[in-house]
Amino acid sequence: MWRAAQMLVLRWGAHMGRALRLRFTPSGRAVLAAAIVATAFGIDIARTRALQVAAAATGLLLVSAIFLLRRRPRIACSRELPRYGTVGVPLAYTLRITNLSTSRSLAEFELVDELAASWPTREEYARFVEPDRLDGPLERWLGFRRWLRLALTRRGGIIPARHAHALPPGAAASLEMALQPLRRGYLHFGHACLCMPDPLGLINALQSGGAPDRLLILPRRYAVPRLDAGMSRRHQAGRLPRASNVGDSQEFLALREYTRGDPLRHIHWRSWARTGAPIVKQFENEYLSRLALILDTCTPPGLPLEAALSIGASYLTGDHPADMVIDLMLMGPRLFESSSGRGLGTVDAQLALLACAEPAPPGEFHRFTRGVLAVLPRISAAIIVLPQWDESRRAFLRALRARGMPLQCFVTSHGTPSAPVTDAEGVLAVRPESMAEDLARHRARMSSVAPAMAVHA
Amino acid sequence: MNERPLILAAALLLWGWQSGHFYVAVPLAVVLEAPPFVRRRLELREADFQRIADVTSVLFLALVFIGFSDDAVGGIYRILEWMPAVLAPLLIAQRYSTDGGIPLSALFASFRRTGGTVLEHVPRLADLTRPYVIVCLIAASVGSKASEAFLLAAFTLLVAMLVPPRWSRRSLLPWALCVLMALGAGLATRSALYQLQERVELWVMRWMQDSIAASVSPNQAFTAIGMLGRLKFSDRVRLRIRTETELTGPLLLRESTYEEFRHGTWRNTDSSMLAIDPYGDGHRWRLADAPANASRAVLTAPVKNDPEVIPVPQGAYGLASRDILGLQRHYGGALLVDARPGYLSYEVEFGAEPRGEPEPRPGDLAVPEAYRSTLTRVRSELGSLPADDGGRLKAIEGYFQRNYSYSLVQRGRGPWTQPLNEFLLHRRSGHCEYFATATALLLRELGIPARYAVGYSVSEYSPLEGSYVARQRDAHAWVLAYVDGAWRVVDTTPATWRAEEDAASGPLLAITDLKAWLGYRWSKVRASGAGLRAALPWMLPPLIALLLWRLRRTRRIGARGPASPPASIPTRGADSEFYALVDRLSRRHAPPREGETLRAWLHRLSSADRAEIGRLAVLLDLHNRHRFDPRGLSPSERARLRHAANVSPR
């Protein structure tokens, strides 16, 4: 009961705060505060004349409010968004405002483009932990700041308001907006809101426009060590790095008798002539060079998981041979597998999957390893990113190494104080707070040694 | 950060003018407006701002202590009055620092834990100029004297905060017109706010009267001294009194007496109680010795609390009731009973003069220092007084009757610090609490022990009730004076008070009385335990009336004719041009059958015009998205639907 009431009050408070922010200018908020405080203290007219202050402030607000009745021109808004954004990296996009009216000008306005509000549920609020925040006892009890931070995280970004000049009838203006993404995944844009103040500059008339949009925000990406471990095709002598066909190889291996259904172009005419029976060319299967990107998401939310996803995104968007197929594997409600390259899929889809990855329950790790080991026979090499380092993950890595394929394993966890994760364990240790430095160190070390040594196989 | 020069100085000077603290306001104004002429700035770190804020907090706490220790009720206004001086260090730091603002961590202790940030997009620095101007305005209002000038000054200061940083010829005229309109609106709002305040104050008073004052506290009695506007008391019947003989004059029923007056409240310095044992059958109590001429009355009063103060006639010496479980006498003379909640009936034996009162105490001669000079002036107006206390008493009664009048209305808009002084020297008009308080203090000034008494004055006989009644508005205050070795009742309130109270009664008095009587009878029936049988005669008439009303209402509804059709609910996508197209196709081929979907219908028509119908299926998709897709159609798709539906098929 208390929790439900708290959520109602928190949501109502956030709504009120937003309404106050949009509807009143800073001067308007000051005058409104003066009116409210003066009315509260002015109730005892025998002791104070604060009601006079309240009357003066209310008079100003009343006249400002009259201007809300003004007819406003219709507008159209559209956004030009980039393909991707990156967490924590400000990005610019364009918002185009068109005054659709043929007779009315659009007065000077403040443009507020907001990400769509989706208020946290009670369960999300209860789950939301902030180890680095130090709210006092009162704030913890009220919970309003924590709720605001959660709401902001869910919203996913901050877009500062932008001042714009008047727009004559039929005119259009393109405004450069700045977005500071706060989380990965899709950010949803709501309607843009035009705040047009009255002549006294106290109360804004609001006009909204624009269609909802969405933008994919990727985890931060870094320069990652290159995995070059002779990932050639198996069961085939020569390397064919630029092969344009997928499936049968162009060079035949042997001859055999014709069986029903063989394509005519595979008939070996000279042998037919020699033997008198139809003979066809036999080809060997061509295997693709498949790199598995195995991301362990069976871990609580936090910096190690974000670092692991960053490494995954860095490999997906980095340089890799054009003939390579990348198989992304991560755990969600089920084992997600997504391939890209050689016509099997796009990197965009994999990036979206990765950007929207949610932490899976830690108990799901065994299901994840079973799924990964099942598809391993068709994999040429693997990059494993583990946000945790424990005995079950060590066993998983041993099982992968037993297959004898080239692989790189990153661990983004510090480990425990008694057993910190180090490179000596045969993994590439990456600390979440100094990812760029750690990855650069690994890159430099691996480029200075022989390719065969660079692979922890 | 101060974009508007001199606004801080103007706010401070207004405060200095209204409060009289010029010696503080002028130096502060100079210091706060000097920065444009001073090149040097202080490079204050966040910790420095926090220390300055801590100093301000200490100053504020000291002010709170001083303010509330002097006056528990009005202390808040004393604190408000000095707030500009308390907050000045913060403003000085802002004005002279290189940052030009105050870090949030200095203002809110909780932000210090998070390094000054709460949310990423909240600015780290706050500009205190506007809040400070508002604080100055409200502080100035506390000591304000000139009404119109203060309103104009407050308005000008608020407008000065709104002056746009840049002027253009086009924007100046509308802005100036708006300011003029706002001034008019402010004047109108002022009178509306004062009327509203009057209503709120009365509402609060009535609420207090009904919920708090209905049960008198033997320790203290709040008075309405200092409240402005018209006092309005409830007409609700509170007491029922049956006497053996007809009353020849008003009967005073006393609830309690008090000895110390301070800040509009009468108190008793001692809250001790004395239990009184019953005698005889255990339901009778002796309060004092019986007088020669005794009377008897049966009173009925509502009991809410346990224990509850019951009113008794001034000369009460004996009490009897089967419903009273225990009786105590308070230091102030109040009788407190233990009884079940509900209506309590008790029989009182009483004489003409107060009996059984304690001897005078030192507190009965105490005069607050704040009123001493006023009382001295009033005493000089009394002229030469007789030597005996009885003569002095008569002189004082005569003085109030001649020079003062009764009024339920207090006009004027303070602030004055001592409303009783105002009553005694200037207004000379007030209600019974003014008269009783002033009389008690004046008697004490003359060396006669006096106590403030509250209760009811009963004189109204109700034929409906068959008894005398005391309404809420019959609540009265008077004085007990110790003269010639005995306590005597002194009531200096002009006798016109009752006529004024009666005139102020509400227009629905008869209905209120009937409701009160029915409620009283019903509670008696319930208390008697007679149950449903006894209640039936009381319940039947309203039930029959309700039944008749319901029957009549049913017939009325039937007579109204058919109900009007419900208002149509706007349907999403109702503006789709596809509907017109369906009409055209229906006319050209055949309309859809009952229950047939549009897609099935188009499919059926495909044999008639295959190419055209195939294109229409695409339009149907757009139409369905226009109706049901929450994201709707894009402008181009909408235009396509509009165009295609209008042109095909003709």
Q: Above 70 in pLDDT, residue A318? A: yes
Rounded to whole angstroms, the Cα distance separating A276 from A257 reads 11
Given an 8 Å threshold on Cβ–Cβ distance, is A54 in contact with B193?
yes
Give CA–CA dist B95/B34, Å, rounded: 9
Residue A50: its chain B contacts at CB < 8 A? 138, 141-142
A104-116: b (≥16 Cβ within 10 Å) or e:
bebbebbbbbbbe
Rounded Cα distance, B12 and B140, in Å: 9
Facing B183 at nearest CB: one of A59, A133, A138: A59
- The pLDDT of residue A142 is 77
A49 in contact with chain B, both atoms CB, cutoff 8 A: yes
Tokens for A351? 């990036």
- Residue-wise pLDDT for B413-460, tens only, equals 544 557 788 888 888 888 888 999 999 999 998 889 999 999 998 888
Q: How far apart are CA B217 and CA A262, in angstroms?
A: 111
| Facing A199 at nearest CB: one of B76, B137, B178 | B178
Q: In this structure, is the dihedral angle defined by the CA atoms of residues A61, A64, A67 and A73, taken in order, positive or negative?
A: negative
Closest residue on chain A to B18 (Cα) = A49
Here the ipTM equals 0.71
Helices (H), A45-186: 50-66, 122-127, 137-142, 144-155
Looking at per-residue pLDDT, the higher value among A407 and A273 belongs to A273
pLDDT of residue A430: 87
Kindly tell me the number of DSSP H helices and DSSP E strands found in chain B: 21, 26
**Pairwise CB contact (< 8 Å): A52 & B187:** no
Tokens representing A434 are 């100094």
B194 touches chain A (CB under 8 A): yes
Tell me the two tokens of residue B77. 């206004």
pLDDT at B215: 62
What is the CB-side half-sphere exposure of residue A119 using CA atoms within 13 A?
14
Query: Which of the two residues, A134 and B307, has the higher pLDDT score?
Result: B307
Residue B287: closest CA among B324, B339, B260, B341: B324
- Give tens-digit pLDDT for B117-128: 545 556 678 888
Distances (CA, A) of B502 to B238, B247, B408: 16, 19, 12
pLDDT of residue B200 exceeding 70: yes
Q: How far apart are CA A131 and CA B359, in angstroms?
A: 71
Q: Does B197 touch chain A (CB under 8 A)?
A: yes
Residues B41, B94 contacting (CB under 8 angstroms): no
Q: What is the C-alpha separation between B548 and B538, in angstroms, rounded? A: 17
Partners of residue A158 in chain B, C-beta under 8 Å: 120-121
Is A117 a residue whose pLDDT tops 80?
no
Task: Quote the DSSP letter at residue A103.
Answer: S
Average pLDDT of every residue of chain B = 81
> Is the model more confident about B168 or about A180?
A180
Give the confidence band of B218 by pLDDT, cuts at 50, 70, 90.
confident
Residues 6+ apart with CB under 8 A from B163: B4
- Is the per-residue pLDDT at A320 higher than 80? no
* Residue B590 reports pLDDT greater than 50: yes
Rounded CA-CA distance B173/B178 in Å is: 9
- Chain B's closest residue to A54, CA to CA, is B190
Greatest Cα pair distance, chain A, in angstroms, is: 125
Helix, strand and coil in chain A, % to nearest 5: 35, 25, 35
From chain A, pick out residues whose CB is under 8 angstroms from the CB of B134: 30, 33-34, 37
Distance from CA of B231 to the nearest CA of A (A): 15
Grade residue B85 by pLDDT with cuts at 50, 70 and 90.
very high
Q: Is the pLDDT of residue A454 over 50?
A: no
Q: At A386, is the secondary structure helix, strand, or coil?
A: strand
Residues 125-164 of A with CB under 8 A from B: 133-136, 138-139, 145, 148-149, 152, 158, 160
Choose among A152, A160, A213, A222: nearest CA to A182: A152
CA-based nearest distance B617→chain A, Å:
26
Tell me if A202 and B162 make a contact (CB, 8 A cut-off).
yes
A264: CB partners within 8 A, 6+ apart:
none
Average of pLDDT values for B360-386? 85
CA–CA min distance B373, chain A (Å): 22
Q: pLDDT tens digit string along B252-280?
A: 898 889 988 887 788 888 888 888 888 88
User: pLDDT tens for residues B506-520?
Assistant: 667 788 788 888 888
Residue A96 has pLDDT above 50, yes or no: yes
Instruction: Scan residues 122-141 of B and list those with Cβ closer than 8 Å to A.
Output: 130-131, 134, 137-138, 141
- Taking CB atoms and an 8 Å cutoff, what residues of chain A touch B11? none
Please give the sequence-ordered ranges of beta strands (E in DSSP) within B61-174, or none if there are none. Answer: 102-103, 125-126
Q: What DSSP state is assigned to residue A341? A: S
Going by C-alpha positions, the residue among B614, B636, B611 that lies closest to residue B625 is B636
Q: Is A230 on the interface with B (CB under 8 A)?
A: no
B174, B194, B226 member nearest A46 (Cβ):
B226
pLDDT computed for residue A389 by the predictor: 85
Q: Rounded CA gap, B282 and B322, in Å?
A: 9
Copy the structure tokens of residue B54: 């801590």
Chain mean position to CA B186: 23
Give the residue on B whose Cα is nearest the Cα of A39.
B193
The CA distance from A299 to A283, in Å, is: 46
Residue B592's pLDDT is 83
Q: Are B92 and B33 in contact (CB under 8 A)?
A: no
Which string of DSSP letters, residue by residue, matches B351-375?
ESS--SPPPP-GGGG---HHHHHHH
**What does the pLDDT look like over B529-580, one tens digit per residue?**
655 566 667 677 888 888 888 777 655 544 444 444 444 455 677 888 888 8
Report yes or no: B155 at the A interface, CB cutoff 8 Å. yes
Query: Which one-letter DSSP state was computed for residue B72?
Result: T
Six token digits for residue B526: 């319930």
Q: What's the rounded Cα separation, in Å, for the pair B496 and A96?
A: 78
Tokens representing B16 are: 């200095």
User: Which residues of chain B does A51 touch, with a Cβ-Cβ cutoff of 8 Å?
Assistant: 190, 193-194, 197
> What integer is the mean pLDDT of B604-612?
67
Q: What is the largest CA-CA distance in chain B?
A: 127
Percent of residues, chain A, with pLDDT higher than 90: 17
- Contact assessment for residue A19 and residue A32, using Cβ atoms and an 8 Å cutoff: no
The answer, yes or no, to whether residue A232 has pLDDT greater than 50, is no
Q: Who wins on pLDDT, B374 or B495?
A: B374
Chain B residues touching A136 at Cβ < 8 A: 109-110, 113
A vs B, Cβ pairs < 8 A, gives: 172
Least confident segment among A9-18, B61-70, B231-240: B231-240
Separation between Cα atoms, residue A394 and residue A417, nearest integer Å: 18
Taking a C-beta distance cutoff of 8 angstroms, is the pair A201, A111 a contact? no
Which residue pairs from B57-64 have beta carbons closer than 8 angstroms and sit at least 24 positions apart in sequence?
Answer: B59/B86, B59/B89, B60/B86
Of A266-275, A297-306, B121-130, B549-558, the least confident: B549-558
Asked if residue B479 lies in contact with residue B451, where contact means CB atoms within 8 angstroms, the answer is yes
What are the DSSP calls for B610-648, one per residue? HHHHHHHHHHHHHHHHHHH-TT---HHHHHHHHHHHHHS
**B531-559 and B509-528 helices, crossing angle to 10°:** 140
pLDDT value at position A93? Answer: 94
Are residues A53 and B138, on separate chains, in Cβ contact within 8 Å? Answer: yes
Distance CA B562, CA B120 (A): 62
Q: Tell me how far the alpha carbon of residue A430 is from its chain's centroid.
A: 21
